[in-house]
Amino acid sequence: MGIETLKEKAEACYDEVVEIRRRIHRHPEIGRSEFVTSALIREKLAEYGVDRIESPVPTAVVALIEGRKGPGRCVALRADIDALPVQEETGLPFASEVPNMMHACGHDLHASMLLGAAKLLCGMREEFCGTVKLIFQHSEDTLPGGAKELVEKGVMENPHVDAAYAIHVLPDDNIVGKIGIRKGPMTTSVDLYDVTVNGVGGHGSEPHKTTDPILAACQMVVALQQIVARRVDPLETAVMSIGSINAGVAPNVIPSQCKFGGVSRAYTEEVREIIRQQMFAIAKGMEGVSGCQFDVYHYYGYPAAYNDGELVDCAREAIEQELGKDAVIELERPMGFSEDFAYFRQMAGVPSAYFMLYAGHVGDETYSLHNPKCCVREEAMPYGIRTLVSIALHYLES
């Protein structure tokens, strides 16, 4: 009887991985509250026989699998495990049993695939040197992000991580099991802004006796669009979006206060800083024009995730060898969302790479991530497991 292939090993544990995924999906937990999920992960890792299990914070789990061919480098594989505050509308038989909470971003699949990879790697210790560090990360979808906290807790050390990889499922109309990769920027940064405009209110018939905060706020909202149009290099990409504006209670009364909030996104730290500086500069200018006071509260969100070129090349070789050359999709553009996986590179200086796993969809219509009807195909998970394992092994032997 021949040596069992990685494909056969992944298929052999498919039913177990599906069962884990459905358990996690039924019991979603929001960031920093993943107690049931992390307990299940620790239980499974102990069952598989990893060499070490730690919880740097109460709801995150980190495990080590040490190769028996000798010492070597350390590669980290990361999966996020938290859910979203979304009321599920998929109609699945294993739908969320928690009101207003759902795994609408595929983190249930991520955790399950990494557990599947852990099981396979534990049975393959004789085949590699070095160490695989498994990071089951809490609170990816809740600022300031679990990855930032884990780096601060030293998760990239003891042993030192030489490279970090992660994959994220992506709904698609007809593709299942292919891997989207690219070098350079992979996701955007994200920053949040809350602006409070304080003026002098009064009767709507006597606007000259007021300093109208609504008018001042609207002027600033329009002026903010100049940042992308006139301050950012046209060959770069940036977004400045206003998502909320609130003021007043009566149509014939000019209020004394108006509040609005927005979000900015960019692929480079340089553009990110331009947006931040211009936000405050415009607010200062508007104070002189309007006579109102502008209080701007800026919250740093996640940096942009950047894919190291050498790690991408290494992963491409591994994926093509394991899944075939047609399994790799070269992404022309980075993703428009943000990911705290970026902190492993920005804060710890660890080269990293982040890929997309095309996972099809369940039903007649494809819904995007974070949608209450979003549901991807479990058949994608063996491809994710094989991708994670093959990348780890290829990196450690290269």
* pTM more than 0.85: yes
Pairwise CA distance, residues 291 & 300, whole Å: 28
Place of tokens 């993943």: 34
Query: In sequence order, what E strands does the chain have?
Result: 52-54, 61-66, 74-80, 131-137, 163-170, 176-181, 184-185, 191-198, 202-203, 238-247, 253-254, 257-266, 293-300, 306-307, 328-330, 352-359
- φ/ψ region of 312 (left if φ > 0, alpha if ψ in -120 to 50, else beta) reads alpha
319-367 confidence digits (pLDDT tens): 999 999 999 999 999 999 999 999 999 999 999 999 999 999 999 999 9
- With beta carbons less than 8 A apart as the criterion, state whether 245 and 234 touch: no
User: Residue 74 above 60 pLDDT?
Assistant: yes
The Cα–Cα gap between 30 and 371 comes to: 16
- The reported pLDDT for the residue numbered 1 is 34
Q: How far apart are CA 61 and CA 153, in angstroms?
A: 12
Domain residue extents for the chain: 6-187+304-397, 191-300
In the set 66, 80, 88, 140, the catalytic residue is 140
Stated as kind and residue range, the H or E segment containing 220 is helix 213-226
b/e per residue 22-45 (b: at least 16 CB within 10 A): bebbbbbbbbbbbeebbebbbebb
Nearest to residue 344, comparing CAs of 113, 166, 105, 109?
A: 166
* CB distance 197 to 294 below 8 Å: yes
Instruction: Single out the catalytic residue among 29, 34, 82, 149.
Output: 82
Decide: helix, strand or coil at residue 71: coil
- pLDDT for the residue numbered 3: 75
**191-300 has the same fold as 6-187+304-397:** no
- Tell me the pLDDT tens digit for each residue of 241-296: 999 999 999 999 999 999 999 999 999 999 999 999 999 999 999 999 999 999 99
Structure tokens at 42: 């620790």
At 2 the pLDDT is 53
CATH superfamily membership of 6-187+304-397: Zn peptidases (3.40.630.10)
Q: Which sign does the torsion angle of CA 229, 231, 237, 243 carry? A: negative
Q: What is the mean pLDDT of residues 159-177?
A: 98
Q: What is the mean pLDDT of the chain?
A: 97
DSSP 303-320: PPPEE-HHHHHHHHHHHH
Which CATH architecture is the domain 191-300 placed in? 2-Layer Sandwich (3.30)
82 part of the active site: yes
Question: In this structure, which amino acid lies at residue 33?
Answer: S
Residues 104-132 have a mean pLDDT of: 98
